[in-house]
Chain A
């Protein structure tokens, strides 16, 4: 008998004993694929083909969350069932006494676990194709989508399946294996979440990446990486996909190697014990207790009182003792062993205390850190509350028309002339405003790209009077503009249409590509020269709307944009034809009482809504309108540029404009410029300064 035939015979014998998993797999795939497709095709007569096609692609492609869950569940079931004989002494006695190498025992069980997923999947894909063909809906796109998704799911099945097997190898009891699997699935994300909580909780300059959920999810978690990669594919972010999949493949191979090694080294007497390897016990205990205790501290602090160090310390001690006791009880299956190995308990407590002290007192100077100027290659600065009308999206994707503004700017901006940006960062460090929402202050994020290639991120806060001078200088920097406004990345051929509006008019232009290009170039040139002073207007005189794909991008036109204004005029849009005193019919001013607003101890505004009153006054007299209107700032413009504009945002002004001779009106919302509410209005609306 050759060893090859022994292998296949053993494999066949093993598969006979795993019929139930094959049946489950077959049934699951049947429901998820051919049956699901057939049911969706049943709606065919009612809906258009494009919609149906999208539905079919969502079943066969990476958008099908149920398939991911089924894949994960399958990997867990096959991983546990394939090797759980290792948890039974009498089964181990049989398997390890027969003349079969451990590698062979491992290999046929591993292969069967894969085949239990693979074969029913293939059969049901074929059945799906038959269903599609029968309905005359089969096409190349569906075929390639199904096959690439098959490869994708199989790769992640292998990764997750192997991870489950490692959990089984490390443990000696079914329940503990399940815990172990959960730990291997979610340890990374929990660790990352604790790290995020500590950094954001203790360091006022910590920049929490807007992509933090994805970072947490995919950190050392096979399940997380699976969902994150699928999500990226769903959103068309294919950049780096090949590298990521290659890494997944290599990691899977390494994990298979590790599984075989653990299987060979695993003592048979580990069956029924909590942990298979005595050496792993303290390591795992430390790896679990320390982050859980730290996380416990910060969770207690946050759900009780944000500033309370008492709750933080209590939370850490409580969670430390609880998690330590649980682990020891699991290790020994004996509640009396809860606090065994007191030295290890003290060591855990010591490490937790050291980490907590480092963060609480910022012993490494995280908040004060600024790289030396000669070590910085470039900087990026993203201000919040400045040009918030601009929409950002990732040029590397083809179907997601959104990107966080800060993320975009930090990614695309490279200030090599960085004197002002550096000085602004230093001012923020010196001023050290710790509250997150201080009044009249602005937030900004800085990325330092060091000559070593390392990237350092910090978020700062500054009061307007401390930072506005440097902000203005940075805004004048062309490199800033190019990273700040995505329009500099566009190609004119991407623009499908252009329109323009102000408070009174709205025109869609008929422009040929050459004219579009001309407008784009003119606008970009004038935008490059735009200063903060130029933006110090009550409202932009017009707004250009560029259509990219199905999305609209809004860019303001300021009075200094002479060439753009001329171009618009040449094409039928007169920016001067706008709301003015003559066409204002009425102004309604509403005071949302401000004297009921207080600041809490963290500097946050608290509005006493129980004492809320609203006091409105309508003005139709031309003279009053003439006094009021020049003091108003467009509401949207203010909200988009709060960093540089101050307004009385508790007093809302509605301007009602007559738009034609039939008496039709438009309404526009405004605020008064800060401190410029006329006295007669103050009296009328019972205004009390904050």
Chain B
């Protein structure tokens, strides 16, 4: 488990991270979203002990992370602009990480390299941006660490590779309970992989919630009624976030359990009704509205 308590970081007079507290459970994928400059990278660099927080503390499995080798052995960090040694090949990189990470799995590395169709003997500086990202992920997975920290890792991957990486992550989580912390400025990237999402804005955390919980408490329903009715009356007592009408088709977003909402609609005897899945973006729109922000101005 990773626990960050009231951590802050300043660069000269700029407050990069301000009093952020987050708790990340094992086996989860924690999505860290926010605009450029929101403090995502600074937060992750503090998580992996590159930066020392000015205030607060970060513990990984109960251990302070800064300058603590035992804690650092538990994670692999893929930065937004990963460094590869000059003139090095993936094989050189494998050799380096083998030295650094006790449990580095060379076979897994070789397998994944083949799977991604990357040449181990080719110089990394001839790789495309996407290939370098793939290589970083392969190194991170092969390091066999309990946690993996990814900063904008999906940026630059084509959709096929993005899905491939996501499935590898899913497999690792399934097989060895790996925990991933993924920072991104793009909500859609995290949509189908995150269990928990933290939203950073101007160095502070706006909200940090379980995606499942969020999904349970907000729903979108499409329905057609026999005659014109006052929809708000149907949902009296519930928090209706949005009502969209196209002809006789209503799309309603409201807070409450699925049973609560469907029972209200059934009571109005609709011609047709269906509960639709909400996108992460839609959930965030509603959640951030609660705390007084317009999500569209913060992230995509």
Contact = CB atoms under 8 A, between A and B. Distances in A.
B50 A92 contact: yes
A268 B45 contact: yes
Nearest to B69: A99
Interface string B72-90: 1101010101110110100
Contacts of B51: 267-269
Interface string A16-55: 1100000000000000000000000000000000000000
B73 A99 contact: yes
Contacts of B77: 93, 97
Nearest to A332: B12
A468 B297 CA distance: 95
A99 B83 contact: no
A1 interface: yes
14 contacts: A6-B99, A90-B81, A90-B83, A93-B45, A93-B83, A94-B79, A96-B49, A97-B49, A97-B77, A99-B101, A101-B67, A101-B69, A264-B67, A267-B52
B69 A10 contact: no
A98 interface: yes
B11 A98 contact: no
A52 B72 CA distance: 61
Nearest to A85: B83
A632 to B, nearest CB: 81
Contacts of B92: 16
B82 A94 contact: yes
Contact of A13 (B70, B81, B95, B102): B95
B100 interface: yes
B50 A268 contact: yes
B96 interface: yes
A357 interface: no
A96 B102 CA distance: 17
B4 interface: no
B48 interface: yes
A268 B51 CA distance: 6
Interface residues of A, number: 25
Contacts of A627: none
Given A10-B99, A268-B51, A94 B83 contact: yes
Given A90-B81, A94-B83, 20 more contacts: A9-B99, A10-B100, A13-B95, A13-B96, A17-B85, A88-B83, A89-B81, A90-B82, A93-B45, A94-B79, A96-B49, A96-B50, A97-B45, A97-B49, A97-B72, A99-B72, A100-B69, A100-B100, A268-B51, A269-B51
Contacts of A264: 67
Contacts of B95: 13
B51 to A, nearest CB: 6
Contacts of A1: 102
Contacts of B82: 90, 93-94
Contacts of B52: 267
Nearest to B67: A102
A681 to B, nearest CB: 84
Interface in B137-195: none
B95 to A, nearest CB: 7
Contacts of A96: 49-50
Interface string A602-638: 0000000000000000000000000000000000000
A286 B88 CA distance: 44
A506 B95 CA distance: 84
Interface size class of B (residues with CB under 8 A): 20 to 34
Contacts of A9: 99
Nearest to A94: B83
Nearest to A5: B99
Contacts of B49: 96-97
Contacts of A102: 67
A91 interface: yes
A102 B66 CA distance: 11
A-B CB proximity, top 9 nearest: A99-B72, A97-B77, A90-B83, A9-B99, A99-B73, A93-B79, A97-B48, A94-B83, A96-B50
Q: Is the interface of A mostly helix, strand, loop or mixed?
A: helix
A101 B67 CA distance: 7
A473 B72 CA distance: 82
Nearest to A264: B67
Contacts of A17: 85-86, 88
A1 B49 CA distance: 22
Nearest to B101: A99
Which interface residue of A6, A90, A97 has the most chain B CB atoms within 10 A?
A: A97
A13 B100 CA distance: 10
A99 B51 CA distance: 14
Contacts of A101: 67, 69
A13 B99 contact: yes
A438 B203 CA distance: 75
Contacts of B50: 92-93, 96-97, 268
Interface string A98-111: 11111000000000
Interface string B1-37: 0000000000100000000000000000000000000
Nearest to A98: B100
Nearest to B97: A98
A196 to B, nearest CB: 40
Nearest to B99: A9
Interface string B87-117: 0100010011001111000000000000000
Contacts of B45: 93, 97, 268
A99 B100 contact: yes
Given A1-B102, A16-B92, A98 B83 contact: no
A632 B49 CA distance: 90
B258 to A, nearest CB: 43
A334 to B, nearest CB: 12
B147 to A, nearest CB: 12
A98 B72 CA distance: 6
A85 B72 CA distance: 20
Interface in A159-185: none
Contacts of A269: 11, 51
Interface string B45-59: 100111110000000
Contacts of A100: 69, 100
A88 B85 CA distance: 12
A264 B52 CA distance: 12
A93 B78 CA distance: 9
A94 B67 CA distance: 14
B22 to A, nearest CB: 18
Nearest to A267: B52
Interface in A455-477: none
Contacts of A13: 95-96, 99
A9 B69 CA distance: 17
B76 to A, nearest CB: 8
Interface string B192-218: 000000000000000000000000000
A92 B83 CA distance: 9
Contacts of B70: 99
Nearest to B76: A97
A100 B77 CA distance: 14
Nearest to A9: B99
B67 to A, nearest CB: 7
Contact of B79 (A6, A16, A90): A90
A102 B79 CA distance: 19
Nearest to B52: A267
Contacts of B96: 13
Contacts of A97: 45, 48-50, 72, 75, 77, 79
Nearest to B71: A99
B91 to A, nearest CB: 12
Nearest to B48: A97
Which interface residue of B72, B79, B83, B88 has the most chain A CB atoms within 10 A?
A: B83
Nearest to B88: A17
Contacts of B88: 17
Contacts of A91: 83
A96 B99 CA distance: 15
Interface in A70-128: 88-94, 96-102
Nearest to A268: B50
B125 to A, nearest CB: 13
